[in-house]
Amino acid sequence: MPAQAFRYEAPPIKGSRFATDLAPATTPEAAGEFIARVRLAEPNATHHCWAWRLGRPCDRYRSSDDGEPGGSAGRPILMQLEGHRVTDVVCVVTRWFGGTKLGVGGLMRAYGGAAGQALDRAPLHVAVATERLHVRCPYADEGAIRAFLAAHGLEPVTASYETAIDLELDVPRRDRQLLEAELRDRTAGRVEIC
């Protein structure tokens, strides 16, 4: 997702100007509010085409051609969001018509290109996909568990110390199997993981 709202104006194409506004958004309502703000800020523009992607993993998305020929603007913007693997983002590409028609192919390149150039330049917040591990071990392995947590910069989400040590950990999804194997090694297989 973008770290903050970001604006980039691409070089003009056959007299038409294209400005891209990006912002973080986690709900359709937040995305809609941002699109409305861009429209209000640029009332003299010809088109405000947009796309958004929400969720981790991305499970909701929408796009709009805002009066441009079908599929020539919103979809290319959405494809750039997908290609840059960003989510929880809204992207609005504003066009000021310069007098020369670009054709559907030219519009696709212009809108997708403007979105892509902005995404290449925008400061992005990288979020790591995590999974929750439930770890249970005897007290005799507390030192090994603490060393493991420190080595990987992990903090328990919850911890319970009753008949055994019960921890919930959020670990990077891509490292889950390696971390589970290391926990088993450090505790000689006495740890329970689910």
CA atoms within 13 A on the CB side of 91: 41
Structural domain boundaries of the chain?
Answer: 6-121, 130-193
pLDDT tens string, the chain, 194 residues long: the values are 677 889 999 999 999 999 999 999 999 999 999 999 999 999 999 999 999 999 877 789 999 999 999 999 999 999 999 999 999 999 999 999 999 999 999 999 999 999 999 999 998 877 777 889 999 999 999 999 989 999 999 999 999 999 999 999 999 888 899 999 999 999 999 999 98
Nearest to 115 by CA among 72, 176, 158, 54: 72
Asked if the 6-121 domain carries CATH number 3.40.50.740, the reply is no
Cβ density class 29-59: b for 16+ within 10 Å, e for less: ebbeebbeebeeebeebebbbbbbbbeeebe
CA 56 – CA 1 distance, rounded (Å): 11
How far is Cα 158 from Cα 88, in angstroms, rounded to an integer? 27
Token pair recorded at residue 150:
């420190």
Fold of 130-193: Alpha-Beta Plaits (3.30.70)
Query: Would you say 2 and 86 are in contact if contact means Cβ atoms under 8 Å apart?
Result: yes
